[in-house]
Amino acid sequence: MTAKHHYDLIVIGAGSGGIAAARRAASYGANTLLVEGVRLGGTCVLRGCIPKKLLMYAAELQTAFSDAAAFGWTLGTGTFSMHDWKQAKDAELDRLEGIYQQMLNNAGVHVIHGHAQLAGHETVAVNGQHYHAKRIVIATGGKPARSAIPGLEQAWTSDELLNATALPASLLVLGAGYIAVELASILAALGVQVSMAFRSQLPLRGFDEDLRLRIAQALEHQGVVLHPNSHMRALEANSAGLSLHRMQADSLQAEAVLNATGRIPNTSQLGLDTVGIQTNSAGAIAVDADSRTQASGIWAIGDVTNRVNLTPVAIAEARAFADTEFGGQAVQVNHSNVASAVFCIPPAASVGLTEAQAAQQGPTDVYISEFRAMKKAFIGSQERTFMKLLVDRQSNQVLGMHMLGSDAPEIVQSLAIALSAGATKRDFDRTMALHPTAAEEFVLMREPARTIG
């Protein structure tokens, strides 16, 4: 055993959380090893948020081209090439990976590529070598679930779809979460005949019911065919593509199928048993408020814990760990009031409580504004913007904000600061509107649409 195999910290997984933990710890002087089995960047950068949003931008251009004539432009006929988009996307991801590598180099973080396994107390095995540290962080993220029904292994996941060089003529999306809704909407805008099959009545379980309903309506307006209450039985290949067999319903056929039935924590083959760490039924590692696992000297952050599975949350958990363990500050992450966005077309975003959650807390005033945005009204589009504000009737404090419409993620991100600061409806009322914008509607809502609780 040589001195070069001893570190203050070993981080397993170089996604957003792992990189943040390694860099922040190194900034405090910790001798840090970061281990990654594939590429630097993780799911968000390489297989999720970034390529997905780049594809969304491509899809939005189709709408811009079709709207241009109403604003006086004359354009030629355009066609979309998935092959060309993929080449540009791959070049951008290579650039981002290079930036991460440079940042880690500048921070003094030692990076090893290989599959890491816990190998007992304070020990990690990589490529046949053993490395030691008093602190180990597991940041291995999540991966697509592939076992919901027989034959599901024949379907694409978002990983394969975002690496495709050509789009199918028709696509059946299984599931109704973030990934399902986003990619169904994006591909429909790119000309694919899209249908969705899911178990619930509405997509996006966990979001506000009014928002879920309007997102479903927006998908149908795009031409996406929804098959709610679908109890999936099996997926079968045939000469025309793939067929989804359902219980007590007709089978659904498409050239290709996207498995968006969910993601699971990436905990297999980590050697958790060597240190006595057990996972729950979802495969997640249980942690306390400081991200400590049940094993001494081992922490877990990000999607592998299945708490709030969003990139900024993983980064916050990573930095809180490093600040606490190496920076001399006791920092914990507050997992409440985390803003989230769905990058469908148009996009949606939420922060705070849903109406159902607010009603459980007490009497709540519900403010709603729904309208055609100026840009859409000008071209005769029926696309509508929806905004909702939930206010505690007794304290006047704003409890939640929900929006569907252009720039919803940008607007809700800004308003999330007000929510975190404890803003009241009176604070919104005395804020001067910025005209003409869609965002001004959040400060112009005067009378509640209803009171609940």
Instruction: Establish whether 45 is an annotated binding residue.
Output: no
Known catalytic membership, residue 130: no
Instruction: Establish whether 367 is an annotated binding residue.
Output: no
Total structural domains in the chain? Answer: 3
Same domain, 33 and 110: yes
Instruction: Establish whether 178 is an annotated binding residue.
Output: yes
Same domain, 185 and 312: no
Instruction: Establish whether 220 is an annotated binding residue.
Output: no
CB 190 within 8 A of CB 62: yes
Instruction: Establish whether 177 is an annotated binding residue.
Output: yes
* pLDDT given at position 76: 82
Distance CA 31, CA 13 (A): 17
Same domain, 128 and 210: no
Instruction: Establish whether 182 is an annotated binding residue.
Output: yes
Same domain, 163 and 253: yes
Condensed to tens digits (0 to 9), the pLDDT of residues 126-166 reads 999 999 999 999 999 999 999 999 999 999 999 999 999 99
* pLDDT given at position 275: 95
Same domain, 287 and 236: no
Instruction: Establish whether 53 is an annotated binding residue.
Output: yes
Count H helices and E strands in the chain, helices first: 12, 22
Determine what percent of the chain is predicted with pLDDT higher than 90.
94
Residue 332 lies in a domain: no
Residue 339 lies in a domain: no
Condensed to tens digits (0 to 9), the pLDDT of residues 388-441 reads 999 999 999 999 999 999 999 999 999 999 999 999 999 999 999 999 999 999
Res 449 pLDDT > 60: yes
Instruction: Establish whether 262 is an annotated binding residue.
Output: yes
* pLDDT given at position 1: 43
Distance CA 430, CA 39 (A): 49
pTM (2 decimals)? 0.94
Burial of 244 (0-12, 13-18, 19+ CB in 10 A): buried
- Choosing from 110, 130, 221, 435, the catalytic residue is 435
Res 2 pLDDT > 60: no
- Alpha-carbon distances of 453 from 94, 106, 364, 389, 423, rounded to whole Å: 52, 55, 6, 15, 21
Residue 26 lies in a domain: yes
Distance CA 354, CA 270 (A): 37
Report, as an integer, the average pLDDT of 208-236.
97
Which residue range is the domain that position 105 belongs to?
3-144+264-325
What are 391's strand-pairing partners? 365, 398
66 confidence band (pLDDT: 50, 70, 90): confident
* pLDDT given at position 113: 96
- Alpha-carbon distances of 22 from 125, 137, 384, rounded to whole Å: 18, 9, 44
The residue among 245, 261, 277 that closes a domain is: 261
Report, as an integer, the average pLDDT of 34-61.
94
Res 3 pLDDT > 90: no
Assign residue 103 the CATH number of its domain: 3.50.50.60
Residues sharing a CB contact under 8 Å with residue 219, sequence separation 6 or more, in sequence order? 181, 184, 185, 188, 196, 203, 226, 344
Residue with the larger pLDDT of the pair 453 and 277: 277
Assign residue 405 the CATH number of its domain: 3.30.390.30
Same domain, 135 and 158: no
4 confidence band (pLDDT: 50, 70, 90): low
Same domain, 21 and 133: yes
Same domain, 185 and 203: yes
330 confidence band (pLDDT: 50, 70, 90): very high
Share the mean pLDDT of the chain.
Answer: 95
CB 243 within 8 A of CB 253: yes
What SS3 class is residue 203? coil
Condensed to tens digits (0 to 9), the pLDDT of residues 341-360 reads 999 999 999 999 999 999 99
